[in-house]
Structure formats: C-alpha cells, structure tokens
Amino acid sequence: MPQFAYKALQHDGVLTEGFLDASNRHEAMRQVEGRGLKPIKLAESASGPAKSSAATPPADQAVGGAPAAGLSFALGGKPKITPRMLENFTRLLSSLLAAGVPFSRALVILHRESAEPVAKQKWKEIHDLVIDGMSLSKAMERSPETFPRVYVAMVEAGEAGGFLDVVLAQIADFQAREKDIQSKVTAALMYPAILLFLAMGVLVFLMVFFIPRFQLVFAGFNAELPLLTQLIINTSYVIRSYGLFVLIGLVVAVVSLKNWFKSPKGRRAWEGFVLRAWIVGPLLAQFAMARFTRMLGTLLSAGVPLISSLNVARRSIGNQVLVDAVSESIDRVKEGKPLGKSLAKNRTLFPGAIVEMISVAEESGKLDAELLRIANVTEGDLDRQLKSAVAMAEPLMLFLIAALIGTIFIGMVYPIFSLQDHIK
C-alpha cells in the first residue's frame, strides 16, 4: 500500500507532519481530516512502496484508464471546459461550502461526481494544487483557458474577505445572466447573418456564371458599353481569373488585421472605432456599463472593499478604451474623491443620470443595491434596443441585397436596349 507524507495544522495552529498508509490520495486526505487536522500538503512518499499504475492514473490519463488525449485525437482538438461546466462547478462549490462541507472535501466531491472526463480531470488538477498549499485563486490562475481573469479576481477577493461561498454564488448568477444576454445577441444576429451569407452566394453566382454569358452577347456587336456595365464585367473577369489569389489575399489581410487587433495599439484603435460607430457603439457602451455596475454591486454586496471591487469590476468591461477611462476614475477614488464624481468624466460609459444615481446612493449608503438596480434596468433597456436594432437591420439588409443584385441586373440589361441601333 502506498505511503503518503503530510503536513497539516492542528486546531491550535501548530504545524504537524507525518506519514500514513492509504490506497490513494483521496483516502489519505480523508484520514488526515479524520484526525481533526487541516491539510496543507499531501504527497506520496518517495520512500514508500513503488507506485502502482493501477492505483493512481498518470497525469495524462483520464479517470477510468482511458487516455485523456484519446478524446482529443478523436475530435481533432483538445477538449475544453464549457461555460455550462464552469457554471455548474461554481454553483455546486458554493453550495457545498455554504453547507459547511470542508473545502478539500468539497473539491473531492466535485471532481468525483463530475460526469464529463475533461471536467473531472480539470477539477482534480485544481484539487491537487490546493491540497499542496496553493490558494484556490492561484490554482485557477494556472488555467486561464478555463477561468477568466474576472473569475479569478473575484475568487481572490472572496478568499481575502473570508466569504468565498458568497462570491462563488454571485459568480454563478453572473455567469448565468451573461450567458442569457449572449444567447439573445446571438439569436438576434442569426437572421441577418444568414441573409448576408445568401447574398454573397448570389453575387458570386452572378459574377461567375451569369455575367460571362451576357458578355458573349455584347461582344458580337463591338458596341461601347456603359461605364457601369464595364465595371461589372471587369469585376467578373477578375473573380473568374484571379479568384483564388483574391481569396488568399483576403485571408492574409484578415489574419494580419487579427494579429494587429491583438496588439495594445490595434485593440485600442479598433475598440475606439467601434464605440464611435452608429447604433453599435452606444449599445456596446451600454452593455459594458451593465456588466461593470452588476459586477461592482455584486462585490460590494459580498463585502469586498470599494477599491478592490473597482479593480475587479474594471476587468469585466471588455473594451480596453473604456477600461483605461475607468482606471483613471479609480485613481481619483484612491485620492479620496467620491465614486460618482470620479465616474462623471467618463460620459461614454456613464451618462449624467447614472452618475447622479450613483452619487445619491453613495451618500445614502446603498451603493451596492443601487448598482444592481441600475444593472437590471440597463439590461432590460438593452434587450429592447437590441430587438429594435435587429428589427431595423433585417429590412436594411434586404434593401442592400436588393440594391446590389438590382445594380448588377440593370448594368447588364441596360445595354440590351441599345443593341437595336447597332443592328440597324
């Protein structure tokens, strides 16, 4: 039987260490907790019996003996933790901690009861790091592909304040609300996206198959074609003759722009442009404000200090231009100025009415409740504006499609009316 070395704290805070025999790490953990100790570090002793591959699966092997990479190979990519898995993990961990279950045991339950192999492996990884003495936030920080920076920052604030279960519950609610908003936006954009795709297909068909046949009709009369018709025919020729090169050039341009947008300068330039865009800019600013106020209100209601809450909520905005503006407001708060007046200079994100509400709530000591109320009202208004924008986008998209196809049709049919003069 394997032998495990442990370090743990007694009830009086005295550090103790020793060895124990257990069939696996989980059993060893149960024995340490059964002795009334709080484990700090637990590792299989090097002086113990040789490790059995059947007792403890390798790090790259999933529970049940199947290689974790097997699923990756079958699907052509590494499996990831989905937002639904992360939300379930967060909510269940919050419930277990609120029910008084010891932290280490709660993590054991989570990875033991998980039905998805990728989640089981990830939660076990978090459990092992925490058992080895690392804080939960630091353990999560090692997996940025699973735990966003905002998530880690909130967990860190909950650990520092001693109300981790409350913060985790707030995170789960926040995740559910964010997912609901994102699903609404996705559903709203689905129909315009389908229309755009169909329009591109029709245009390619016209340029590649329809226009060359009309061109044969014009070529037999040696007539001078209108400028619009010449442009359409030349465009069709470029697409048919150099379409592959055009496609490669577009791909290279898209990849280059994507890499540039990832740079700080490119990201700020693009996000600044989006904020100034008609309709889209105000909607994005309103959405960012709703996220910021909800996150800030959530943290304040959980007891997190104002400055720490502002630093965490700032990361939830998403737009770097707005993040920079809020950072300046946080600096003013650090200097001792009220929150409302500090946010007043950022009119893009906080309109005058919102600033007044925050200032009044700050004076009355109800800032957290008012911020959550502002978030609820803003999200409801944002939902209505999205529906109106989509309702306007659909006929606009149809008009643009009809205009493009109609222009091509007119450009190709118009010369036909002058063919009679050339025939005479």
Are 208 and 177 spatial neighbours (Cβ–Cβ below 8 Å)? no
The SS3 of residue 318 is coil
Are 149 and 136 spatial neighbours (Cβ–Cβ below 8 Å)? no
Listed residues 118, 147, 176: the one ending a domain:
147
Average pLDDT (225-232) is: 79
Same domain, yes or no, for 91 and 175?
no
Same domain, yes or no, for 186 and 329?
yes
With 50 as the cut, is the pLDDT of residue 50 above it?
A: no
CATH number of the domain bearing residue 239:
1.20.81.30
Q: How far apart are CA 163 and CA 309, in angstroms?
A: 14
Indicate whether 78 belongs to any domain: no
Q: How many domains does the chain have?
A: 3
Indicate whether 52 belongs to any domain: no
Average pLDDT (411-416) is: 74
Are 35 and 3 spatial neighbours (Cβ–Cβ below 8 Å)? no
Same domain, yes or no, for 141 and 242?
no
Indicate whether 233 belongs to any domain: yes
Which backbone phi and psi does 52 adopt, to 5 degrees? Answer: -100, 130
Q: Give the model confidence (pLDDT) of 276-316 as tens digits.
A: 888 788 888 888 888 888 888 888 887 778 888 888 888 77
Same domain, yes or no, for 166 and 198?
yes
The domain of 32 spans 1-47
Same domain, yes or no, for 174 and 34?
no
Same domain, yes or no, for 218 and 243?
yes
Q: Give the model confidence (pLDDT) of 134-180 as tens digits.
A: 888 888 888 888 888 778 877 887 787 677 888 888 788 878 877 87
More confident residue, 214 or 344: 344
Helical packing angle, 280-301 and 149-161, nearest 10°: 20
With 70 as the cut, is the pLDDT of residue 193 above it?
A: yes
Average pLDDT (332-357) is: 86
Same domain, yes or no, for 290 and 354?
yes
- Residue-averaged pLDDT of the chain: 77
Same domain, yes or no, for 104 and 31?
no
Are 87 and 111 spatial neighbours (Cβ–Cβ below 8 Å)? no
Indicate whether 265 belongs to any domain: yes
Same domain, yes or no, for 372 and 317?
yes
Indicate whether 68 belongs to any domain: no
Same domain, yes or no, for 378 and 273?
yes
Q: How far apart are CA 279 and CA 289, in angstroms?
A: 16
CATH number of the domain bearing residue 17:
3.10.20
Indicate whether 301 belongs to any domain: yes
Indicate whether 196 belongs to any domain: yes
With 50 as the cut, is the pLDDT of residue 58 above it?
A: no
Indicate whether 65 belongs to any domain: no
With 60 as the cut, is the pLDDT of residue 52 above it?
A: no
Q: Which tokens is 306 given?
A: 């104002």
Same domain, yes or no, for 93 and 175?
no
What is the value of pTM for the model shown?
A: 0.60
Same domain, yes or no, for 202 and 132?
no
Q: How much of the chain, in percent, has pLDDT values that exceed 90?
A: 3
More confident residue, 225 or 167: 167
Helical packing angle, 117-131 and 83-98, nearest 10°: 50
